[in-house]
């Protein structure tokens, strides 16, 4: 089954109005692969700005949304607020949300289900720490994170899974293409065994972890890598090189 290549950007807590306008301007007329789906995640305060400024063939993602429709949840962004800004996607369960803000597998799964049921597409993130990679429990960790999601998600049509080894995020360390491919293959097999063969064949699995213009083409050749979720490199004009990695 053909899976459309997907490249996501995750700006995290970076950017300003001036920087966003300059970056979007640099990308505006760039020649990028029309067969690659592009989604940019930005801080909530700039969702409306980016949605209005970004080229029409690219989409915008919230970096987080809450699991309730509205209410006394100071500092949170609701699904409806994101949609009100023209947003179609949300990044959920990033390792920084897990490690810094204490989000559990169950809470992330609840957010995923709520977002999907209320009209957003989602990019849930999974991945292991360095000690887990070194002691051979990478897939145990990923399976536990996936299991929580699978218990809540009823329809995987609008789910794009991002595998992000925590030890490779922002460190400059990158999983070798073989390491990344092996884990992506294991994730797909887990989906086949625990969700369905159709879901395993159709769900796109992204690699995230210090992807840059220099290493993206080799990673893109791996059969189970369907794209990337990119951090710091998505704040630069040559992010377009990563978008074209599968050309």
> What would the mean pLDDT of 197-207 be, rounded to a whole number?
98
Of 202, 247, 209, the residue nearest 231 (C-alpha):
209
Split at pLDDT 50, 70, 90, the class of 169 is confident
Q: Please return the burial class of 172, using the count of CB atoms within 10 Å of its CB with bins 0-12, 13-18 and 19+.
A: exposed
Crossing angle of helices 138-150 and 177-194, in 10° steps, is: 40
171: pLDDT strictly greater than 90: no
16: pLDDT strictly greater than 70: yes
245: pLDDT strictly greater than 80: yes
Question: Rounded distance, CA 199 to CA 75, Å?
Answer: 34
Split at pLDDT 50, 70, 90, the class of 173 is confident
> What would the mean pLDDT of 32-44 be, rounded to a whole number?
98
Task: Report the pLDDT value the prediction gives residue 7, as an integer from 0 to 100.
Answer: 98
Q: pLDDT of 52-88, one tens digit each?
A: 999 999 999 999 999 999 999 999 999 999 999 999 9
The model's pTM: 0.97
Query: Tokens 């306008």 identify what position?
Result: 21
Q: pLDDT of 89-143, one tens digit each?
A: 999 999 999 999 999 999 999 999 999 999 999 999 999 999 999 999 999 999 9
Q: Which of 37, 63, 94, 103 is catalytic?
A: 94
Query: Tokens 């360095």 identify what position?
Result: 130
Which residues, including other chains, have CB under 8 Å from residue 79's CB and lie 6 or more apart? 65, 66, 69, 90, 114, 115, 118, 119, 120
The answer to whether 94 is a known catalytic residue is yes
CA-based R_g, the chain, Å: 17
Of 61, 198, 31, the residue nearest 121 (C-alpha):
61
Q: Which of 107, 128, 132, 164 is catalytic?
A: 164
Q: pLDDT of 208-240, one tens digit each?
A: 999 999 999 999 999 999 999 999 999 999 999
Split at pLDDT 50, 70, 90, the class of 170 is confident
1: pLDDT strictly greater than 70: no
Question: Rounded distance, CA 98 to CA 142, Å?
Answer: 13
CA dihedral 75, 78, 81, 83 (to 10 degrees): 140
Considering the four listed CATH numbers 3.20.20.70, 2.40.160.60, 1.20.120.450, 3.40.50.1000, the one that applies to the domain covering 5-243 is 3.20.20.70
Split at pLDDT 50, 70, 90, the class of 195 is very high
8: pLDDT strictly greater than 80: yes
């Amino acid at each position: 089954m053909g899976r459309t290549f997907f490249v996501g950007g995750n700006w995290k807590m970076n950017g300003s109005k001036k920087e966003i306008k300059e970056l979007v301007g640099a990308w505006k007329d760039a020649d990028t692969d029309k067969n690659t789906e592009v989604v940019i995640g930005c801080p909530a305060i700039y969702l409306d700005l980016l949605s209005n400024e970004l080229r029409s063939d690219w989409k915008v993602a919230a970096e987080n949304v809450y699991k309730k429709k509205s209410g006394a949840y100071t500092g949170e962004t609701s699904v409806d607020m994101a949609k009100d800004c023209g947003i179609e996607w949300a990044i959920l369960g990033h390792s920084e949300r897990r490690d810094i803000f204490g989000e559990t597998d169950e809470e992330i799964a609840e957010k995923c289900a709520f977002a999907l049921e209320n009209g957003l597409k989602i990019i849930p993130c999974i991945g292991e720490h360095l000690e887990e990679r070194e002691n051979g429990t990478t897939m145990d960790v990923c399976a536990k994170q996936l299991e929580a999601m699978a218990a809540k998600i009823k329809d995987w049509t609008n789910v794009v899974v991002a595998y992000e080894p925590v030890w490779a995020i922002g460190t400059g360390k990158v999983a070798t293409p073989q390491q990344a491919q092996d884990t992506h293959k294991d994730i797909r097999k887990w989906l086949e065994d625990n969700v369905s063969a159709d879901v395993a064949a159709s769900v796109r699995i992204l690699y995230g972890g210090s992807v840059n213009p220099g290493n993206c083409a080799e990673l893109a050749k791996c059969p189970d890598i369907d794209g990337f979720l990119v951090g710091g490199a998505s704040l630069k004009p040559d992010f377009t090189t990563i978008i074209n990695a599968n050309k």
